[in-house]
Amino acid sequence: MLKQKQVRELEKTHKIPCSSDRYFIITLDIESAMPTKKELEMLKSYREYIVRRLYNKASAILDMKLPAESGHNTTSFLKGDYWSSNGKRGWCYSRISWRQGPTFFPTEDTAKPFPPPWTLLQVLDHINEMNNKPFAPWETWKKVHEKIFR
């Protein structure tokens, strides 16, 4: 679980809210373990990718104290073993719109494309494979930002 000091750091330094309020581009669940520097860079890059891919006013959104957009289906990330299939370093995600089914994905019974725990990169790839057909824009983004995603 994140400590108040960590929440303040995430929000001030990295613009990653730890809140269930609606319409943030991404959030980190309060029950999450603290991400590493590399994972924080991935989350920030992913947020930028989503904003630039979906919104015409990308710069204005990215300049916000905590980037948000009315109506956005927020993705909430969680690291660590709060989610039982996650393991100590595993990652999972949920969407603000989910009203039924699992709280976070992957679930304990997920077998494909591989069983949990998943790395953050595996979670990000899964989200983009599911939601952005064709998959190519995400793959291109990762190549352009290779230092972050290797």
| Residue 105 confidence (pLDDT) | 82
Residue 145 burial (CB count, 10 A): 16
Tens-level pLDDT at each residue, the chain (150 residues): 899 999 999 999 999 999 877 799 999 999 899 999 999 999 999 999 999 999 999 999 999 999 999 999 999 999 986 666 666 678 999 988 887 766 888 877 787 777 778 899 999 999 988 665 655 799 999 999 999 998
| Residue 106 confidence (pLDDT) | 85
Contact, 56 vs 4, CB < 8 A? no
**From residue 1, how far is each of 34, 43, 62 by CA, in Å?**
8, 18, 27
| Residue 144 confidence (pLDDT) | 95
Q: What whole-number distance in Å separates Cα of residue 18 and Cα of residue 29? A: 6
| Residue 86 confidence (pLDDT) | 63
